[in-house]
Chain A
Amino acid sequence: MKKEHDQGKYKYGMVIDLDKCTGCGTCMVACAAENNVSVRPDESDKQRSISWMQVYKADNGKEFPEAETVYFPRPCMHCEQDGRGGHAPSCVSVCVATATTLDKNTGIVSQIYTRCIGCRYCQAACPYKARYFNWWDAYFPVDKGLERYLSPEVSPRMRGVIEKCSFCHHRLMRARTKAYADGRRKIKENEYITACAEACPAQAITFGDLNNPKHKVAQLIKSKNAFRILERLNTKPKVYYLSSRDWVRKIADNPVDEFSPISG
């Protein structure tokens, strides 16, 4: 076998089971630690803090005892399209300096920090609010020992640029390198998973190749309970959700007359 990297057509995606999610926030913490997300001495200004994985809370609007809550963990959706048939997500097509791209081989939407000029047009174009701007210089308090947790695999971001979830792209690189060293062309199903999927104590997050019918994610998205957030915008996100609760599936999109499960 020729020893080389596999450049096949993968479509990495995520399925989050909302019936399992407890809203504990471990995914947020794991993501921030894994990806060298900068902090602030005072993190109370939530509109300007950075959280690649953000957990949103929603409820069914009913009083006790019918009251129910759901948590929507929201990474970057790594959309396929812009919503009008353009073959790149909105954030990619609007970027002035080609600082964000959709990798057709992996389906991952990247962000090139050293090319971003910080115009924030991508941020305005993203309906999921998945993009974050560095309002301050990167800060990792030395006296708190946070600098010791910094990962050498992920470059920290400078002030004035956009950053977002990369589906832990460095983990894909790591898995590929390992496969290469082992003389394999393909990486195994669980060899590349994101930090949030690995850390979730309820195992609510599943990660894998949506194009590979053997992968669990490809099977899960066929469930009648599978749906995506803002399906109607037609941006074709690669993050799917599962819920057996009708109201949860409905609240993921703007008023829909009738819920219809995803086809394909």
Chain B
Amino acid sequence: MDSKLLPEGVERCSFGMFILWMLPWLAILAWGGLAAVLCLVKGLNQTNMSNVFAFALWIVFDLGVIALGAGAFFSGFLTYVVGKKELKNIINAAVIIGFICYSGATAMLGIDIGQPIRGWFIFWHANIHSMLVEVSFCITCYLGVLIVEFVPIILENRKLDQIKELHIFGHNLHHIMGVIAASGTFLSFFHQGSLGGMFGVMYGRPFAARDGFYIWPWTFFLFVLSAIASGPCFTIICTKLTELLTRKKLVPDNAIQLLAKVSGWLLSLYMVLKIADTLVWIYDIAPRAGFKFMDFYREGPYGVWMVAAELFVCGIIPAIMLMTPKIRENQGMLVTACLLNCTGIILNRFVFIIVTLAIPVMPFDRFLSYLPTWQEWAIGFAVIAYGFIVFSLSYRYLPVFPKERELNPIAG
């Protein structure tokens, strides 16, 4: 039915099968859409956020997907700026994943603010001292960059490519990809950092507050580093999942191995700095505010186990696994290490958002807990469903993986 739209020389499932695959994701997206309408029409009382949990599940999702979407800018940087040619075989997938993550997060933020119609005030009445302003400016600009990076991939669709003007336009966009990738790297560096800075500058919250360099708290640099350490792993996971579902090899091993190796070394550097940061926090910043390390974990489900899980299970262990060639060459171990790495980063964002707010600062105040409502879950899952839909459509109709034809020759 849609055979004329499919890339040449590759095999795709039947249109009916594709629709069947898409249905559950569309259903989840519709469920999220319903929740979004409820939140926009009735207000944020539809969530379980409160005056204590000003930030909640959505912000965890946002920061999580933005960190994991860092694979796009970092792979772009390695491919076009550093000149790692082998990554050209995975860069399209990385760009699409980045686009999904950033556009999903932006849409989610639009629902998360109490007055969505006033969203433009961030740009019009910008407070230049606010880290969130830096985040907003950079994310918006970077989403623009991602669209520019995504457009040439869309224009490579068999039908669109037949239109001469579009073909020339797409081809020219390819030529300036180096500049685009460099500006994307610049923007991403600042918004990944300022997302970390957002929490580091909450000096009234000793659990999150950090000292820093000039106007940037250390969390600024740690968030950048953790994002570029985990983003490529997320790109690997998505690629491996696509390979599993399509039962095809789509990306040559050298590209995957390079990303895994870079990820491993960055993660180990991040771990060294994160452990140093944690020690400074325990022995200097927290005591200055009158807290001992264990005071933060007096009540509630958020215990020291989270520190251990983040630093050791989801930090040091995957770093060693990814740095060791023998381990990362084993597919199962590679995927495990990538999953652990990504889990660690989500856990880190969760800790900075939820645990920071759960811990009372006033000694006579109490610890409170939070559980999301179905509306919050629905919107979170809708972003995941949106990701599956966009990636599935891209895979089906666009030449996302340049080596697919070569790696999977069609018999006869």
* Residues B54 and A124 in contact, CB atoms below 8 Å apart: yes
* Residues B115 and A118 in contact, CB atoms below 8 Å apart: yes
Stretch at the interface among A30-38, A83-91, A165-173: A83-91
0/1 per residue, B356-382, Cβ < 8 Å to A? 110001111100100000000000000
**Residues in B neighbouring A136, C-beta threshold 8 A:** 43, 45
Given that A117-B114, A137-B43, A253-B363 are known contacts, is A125 also in contact with B204, CB under 8 Å in the complex?
A: yes
Q: How far is the CB of A236 from the nearest CB of chain B, in Å?
A: 12
- How many A-B Cβ pairs are below 8 Å? 176
Q: Which residues of chain B have a CB within 8 Å of any CB of chain A?
A: 43-45, 49-55, 112-115, 118-119, 121-122, 124-127, 129-133, 136, 198, 201-206, 209, 211, 288-292, 295, 356-357, 361-365, 368
* Residues A90 and B365 in contact, CB atoms below 8 Å apart: no
**Residues in B neighbouring A123, C-beta threshold 8 A:** 51, 54
Chain A residue with minimal CB distance to B124? A97
**Complexed CA–CA distance, A132 and B49 (Å):** 12
* Residues B127 and A129 in contact, CB atoms below 8 Å apart: no
Q: How far is the CB of B369 from the nearest CB of chain A, in Å?
A: 10
* Residues A124 and B357 in contact, CB atoms below 8 Å apart: yes
* Residues A255 and B290 in contact, CB atoms below 8 Å apart: yes
Which of A129, A134, A235, A253 makes the CB contact (< 8 A) with B114?
A: A134
Chain B residue with minimal CB distance to A84? B203
CB interface residues, A 31-72, toward B, < 8 Å: 45, 47-48, 56-58, 72
0/1 per residue, A221-264, Cβ < 8 Å to B? 00000000110110100000000000000011111100000000
Q: Is A82 an interface residue (CB 8 A)?
A: yes
* Residues A115 and B125 in contact, CB atoms below 8 Å apart: yes
**Complexed CA–CA distance, A133 and B50 (Å):** 8
* Residues B130 and A160 in contact, CB atoms below 8 Å apart: no
Q: How far is the CB of A118 from the nearest CB of chain B, in Å?
A: 2
0/1 per residue, A125-150, Cβ < 8 Å to B? 11111011111110000000000000
**Complexed CA–CA distance, A227 and B301 (Å):** 33
**Complexed CA–CA distance, A124 and B288 (Å):** 20
Known: A83-B204, A118-B118, A162-B114. 5 other contacts (CB 8 A): A83-B203, A115-B125, A124-B54, A131-B51, A158-B115
* Residues B204 and A233 in contact, CB atoms below 8 Å apart: yes
* Residues B55 and A124 in contact, CB atoms below 8 Å apart: yes
Given that A48-B45, A96-B126, A115-B125 are known contacts, is A128 also in contact with B362, CB under 8 Å in the complex?
A: yes
Overall SS of chain A's interface: loop
* Residues A115 and B121 in contact, CB atoms below 8 Å apart: yes
Q: How far is the CB of A133 from the nearest CB of chain B, in Å?
A: 6
Which of A45, A72, A97 makes the CB contact (< 8 A) with B122?
A: A97
Q: How far is the CB of A72 from the nearest CB of chain B, in Å?
A: 6
* Residues A90 and B114 in contact, CB atoms below 8 Å apart: no
**Complexed CA–CA distance, A35 and B209 (Å):** 33
7 tightest A-B contacts by CB? Answer: A118-B114, A160-B114, A254-B290, A83-B203, A127-B204, A58-B364, A47-B50
Q: Which residues of chain A have a CB within 8 Å of any CB of chain B?
A: 45, 47-48, 56-58, 72, 82-84, 86, 88, 90, 93-99, 115-121, 123-129, 131-137, 158-162, 229-230, 232-233, 235, 251-256
* Residues A133 and B54 in contact, CB atoms below 8 Å apart: yes
Chain B residue with minimal CB distance to A119? B113
**Residues in A neighbouring B52, C-beta threshold 8 A:** 47, 129
Q: How far is the CB of A129 from the nearest CB of chain B, in Å?
A: 7
Some 27 contacts from A to B, beta carbons below 8 A apart, are A47-B368, A48-B51, A82-B201, A83-B203, A94-B129, A94-B131, A96-B122, A97-B122, A115-B118, A116-B118, A118-B118, A119-B112, A120-B49, A121-B54, A121-B130, A125-B201, A128-B204, A128-B362, A131-B51, A135-B44, A160-B43, A160-B114, A233-B204, A253-B290, A254-B295, A254-B361, A255-B363
* Residues A117 and B206 in contact, CB atoms below 8 Å apart: no
**Complexed CA–CA distance, A128 and B204 (Å):** 8
Given that A94-B131, A117-B121 are known contacts, is A161 also in contact with B114, CB under 8 Å in the complex?
A: yes
Question: Could you say which of A57, A134, A159, A233 has the most chain B C-beta atoms within 10 Å of its C-beta?
Answer: A233
**Residues in A neighbouring B202, C-beta threshold 8 A:** 90, 94, 124-125
**Residues in A neighbouring B201, C-beta threshold 8 A:** 82, 90, 93-94, 125
**Residues in B neighbouring A45, C-beta threshold 8 A:** 50
* Residues A56 and B126 in contact, CB atoms below 8 Å apart: no
* Residues A88 and B363 in contact, CB atoms below 8 Å apart: no
* Residues B289 and A95 in contact, CB atoms below 8 Å apart: no
Which of A90, A96, A128, A135 makes the CB contact (< 8 A) with B127?
A: A96
Chain B residue with minimal CB distance to A58? B364
**Residues in A neighbouring B130, C-beta threshold 8 A:** 93-96, 121
**Residues in A neighbouring B295, C-beta threshold 8 A:** 254-255
* Residues A90 and B203 in contact, CB atoms below 8 Å apart: yes
* Residues A117 and B122 in contact, CB atoms below 8 Å apart: yes
Q: How far is the CB of B376 from the nearest CB of chain A, in Å?
A: 14
**Complexed CA–CA distance, A82 and B204 (Å):** 7
**Residues in A neighbouring B112, C-beta threshold 8 A:** 119
* Residues B115 and A160 in contact, CB atoms below 8 Å apart: yes
**Residues in B neighbouring A120, C-beta threshold 8 A:** 49, 54-55, 114
**Complexed CA–CA distance, A93 and B127 (Å):** 8
Given that A98-B127, A99-B125 are known contacts, is A127 also in contact with B205, CB under 8 Å in the complex?
A: yes
Which of A115, A119, A254 makes the CB contact (< 8 A) with B363?
A: A254
**Residues in A neighbouring B290, C-beta threshold 8 A:** 232, 253-256
Q: How far is the CB of A254 from the nearest CB of chain B, in Å?
A: 3
* Residues B118 and A255 in contact, CB atoms below 8 Å apart: no
* Residues B364 and A251 in contact, CB atoms below 8 Å apart: yes
Q: How far is the CB of A47 from the nearest CB of chain B, in Å?
A: 4
* Residues A255 and B292 in contact, CB atoms below 8 Å apart: yes
